[in-house]
Amino acid sequence: MLLREWLEGKTLALICLCYGVWVFLLFGPAVLPVWATVILLVPLIAFHSSLQHECIHGHPFTNTGLNDLIAVAPLGVFLPYPRYKENHLIHHQKASISDPVEDPESWYVTREKWSRTPYWFRAILTANNTLIGRLILGPIIGITAVIQSDIQKFRAGRHGLFATWAIHILLCSALLFTIATNGTISIAVYLACAYFGMSILMLRTFLEHQAHKDMRGRSVLIEEAGPLRLLFLNNNLHAVHHAYPSLAWYRLPVIFKLHRDRFLQMNKGYHYRSYVDIFRKFAISRKEPVVFPLDRY
């Protein structure tokens, strides 16, 4: 059986639904007003990234190539899926979580880098540590950081990255050309939707990790996520995901419910009741310093 288990039919159904709605919104016979298309397309692009995350962790198929094939479509435009996959697997398998040197998904910077950062960019990074700042600035900061990192890797000998980005640019060009010639919205509107789709993901990742002396205390639990539970495929229970990274999205709430006290003890109480609470607390307040606050040595 190609599916990892029969319940993976849920994941496969969501993937088909995601692509089907995307095609309907952009190329369907019923043309919606642009504002309605945008309202539906922005969370759909964010949802596609959540599905890519499932594929990275081995779902819905036992075959890695099949999972990559159904996830590679660049609906979010700005970053290649293979780069997302590589960085995310390093984040899980090799990195000291949240450490800016080891973890490619860390939002912290080292003291040495901070000392070389111009004051105007320090202000941007500080604003990025508030929730509203992260929603607005986070996508462009994250995209720029990956591109800069890949340029450095290319210069250091990772020449295969050129092919990765070239293929991604070709796929994006084909996608945007098709939208421009046959779609219901313009390229500019689609790019804006992709950007704000990333902004929704910034809400999920904003408190996903913290700098804590105990590695188990670095991943958050957000208990009441409402509709965002589906949009993020239960990654609000991020400490559970890190404890069992190969566990499918639909099993995370069950495991958390059975062992809630254990997980809260394990992650040192890094817990929020809901995203509403997070917004109230951090909308315009910094969650933590930008500089990694722990001694790395």
Q: Name the H helices within the chain.
A: 9-27, 34-56, 64-71, 81-93, 111-116, 119-127, 131-155, 160-182, 187-205, 228-231, 238-243, 252-258, 260-266, 275-282
**What is the DSSP code (8-state) at residue 274?**
E
pLDDT at 4: 85
pLDDT value for 94: 77
User: Which pLDDT score is estimated for 11?
Assistant: 97
Angstrom CA distances, 180 to 35, 196, 204, 236, 241, stand at 17, 19, 31, 36, 39
SS3 for 20?
helix
Instruction: Give 117-171 pLDDT, tens digit per residue.
Output: 999 999 999 999 999 999 999 999 999 999 999 999 999 999 999 999 999 999 9
CA atoms of 93 and 61, how far apart (whole Å): 21
Residue 296's pLDDT is 63
What is the reported pLDDT for 295?
79
| CA-based end-to-end distance of the chain | 47
Over its length of 297 residues, how does the chain's per-residue pLDDT go in tens digits? 688 899 999 999 999 999 999 999 999 988 899 999 999 999 999 999 999 999 999 999 999 999 999 999 999 999 999 999 999 999 999 779 999 999 999 999 999 999 999 999 999 999 999 999 999 999 999 999 999 999 999 999 999 999 999 999 999 999 999 999 999 999 999 999 999 999 999 999 999 999 999 999 999 999 988 999 999 999 999 999 999 999 999 999 999 999 999 999 999 999 999 999 999 999 999 988 999 999 764
Tens-digit pLDDT profile for residues 26-57:
999 888 999 999 999 999 999 999 999 999 99
How many other CB atoms are found less than 10 A from the CB of residue 183? 19
Domain range summary for the chain, segments of one domain joined by +: 6-282
